[in-house]
Amino acid sequence: MKLIILDRDGVINEDSDAFIKSPDEWIPIPGSVEAIGQLTKAGYTVVIATNQSGLGRGLFDITTLNAIHQKMLDAIKAAGGTVPVIMFCPHLPTDDCDCRKPRPGMFNTISERFDVELTGVPAVGDSLRDLQAALLAGCTPYLVLTGKGRQTLEKGGLPPGTQVFDSLAAVTAHLIEKDQQAVSPVSVPVASEQGEKAVANGSTDKPAPKAKAKAAAKAKLASLAEKPQKTTGKKEKSEKKNSAENRKK
């Protein structure tokens, strides 16, 4: 399956330092909802993982958060998109939970839920902590320059391998183009006179670099994940409880 994990505020909708506390305050970034529609049509399972400490701070309640998400899902649906799972962390930074990004708890739960390894899965965010959580979970971090993205870029210290794009729409165009490029070298020779040979080449040549890249990514992940896992490992059992989630019917 093709999975993509998105942050919410600053990626899909305009961010606010005063928090998004009502459906009225949820305003889509131009092109973002349409991008999710395109991702869905291109075969991606689009999942959202978002820190929502406004819940823990008492700025809004779960009913309001559901109403905000319903507005978002309606807009996405109108653009031909679906989002089967929205993960959110309701905790305060001081709660020391495992789900609040930069910790990878929500990502790990997504991995379990869909029974899929996150190696190479694109994870899009506008804050450093989104990218850090993504990398710890094995995803490929994508920074967008909407929301807090420009500030994040200027501060520097981005995780290795971070891809930078203007917006979710730009990430989407890139991913869809990359997918098409990955398919075309095999499909073109098949139609030629030397079809058999070309297919054989396609099947032997292609997997090697992929496998290499996978092994390299795994090795990188293992070294990067080592330290943080030591500090968060104790709390793994409570991760599911702490990691509130909202599944769309």
Long-range own/partner contacts, residues 68-75 (CB < 8 A, 24 or more apart): 68/20, 68/22, 68/23, 68/25, 68/26, 69/246, 70/23, 71/23, 71/26, 72/8, 72/12, 72/13, 72/26, 72/28, 73/248, 75/28, 75/33
Q: Both tokens of residue 228?
A: 């943080």
Choice from 90, 126, 143, 244 touching Mg ion (CB under 5 A): 126
Q: Which range touches Mg ion (CB under 5 A), out of 3-11, 85-93, 212-220, 229-237?
A: 3-11
34 binds Mg ion (CB under 5 A): no
7 near Mg ion, judged by CB under 5 A: yes
Smallest gap from residue 76 Cβ to Mg ion (A): 17
Q: How many residues sit in the footprint of Mg ion (CB under 5 A)?
A: 5
Which residues form the catalytic set? 7, 9
Closer Cβ to Mg ion, 111 or 127, answer by number: 127
* Under rule CB under 5 A, residue 54 binds Mg ion: no
CB 213 to Mg ion: min, Å: 28
- H or E element, residue 143: strand 140-144
Beta strands in 27-96 (DSSP E): 44-51, 85-89
Residue with smaller CB distance to Mg ion, 17 or 193: 17
User: Which residue is closest to Mg ion by CB?
Assistant: 10
Pick from 5, 10, 32, 152: which binds Mg ion (CB under 5 A)?
Answer: 10
Nearer to Mg ion, 10 or 141 (CB): 10
How do beta strands 85-89 and 44-51 pair? parallel
- Dihedral angle sign, alpha carbons of residues 140, 102, 12, 82: positive
Nearest to Mg ion of 171, 198 (CB atom) = 171
Binding Mg ion (rule: CB under 5 A), the pick from 5, 9, 100, 107 is 9
d(C-alpha 41, C-alpha 20), whole Å = 28
CA-to-CA separations, 44 to 199, 204, 207, in angstroms, rounded = 26, 26, 21
Residue 86 engages Mg ion in binding (rule: CB under 5 A): no
Q: Which two tokens stand for residue 233?
A: 């490992």
Residues that bind Mg ion (CB under 5 A): 7, 9-10, 126-127
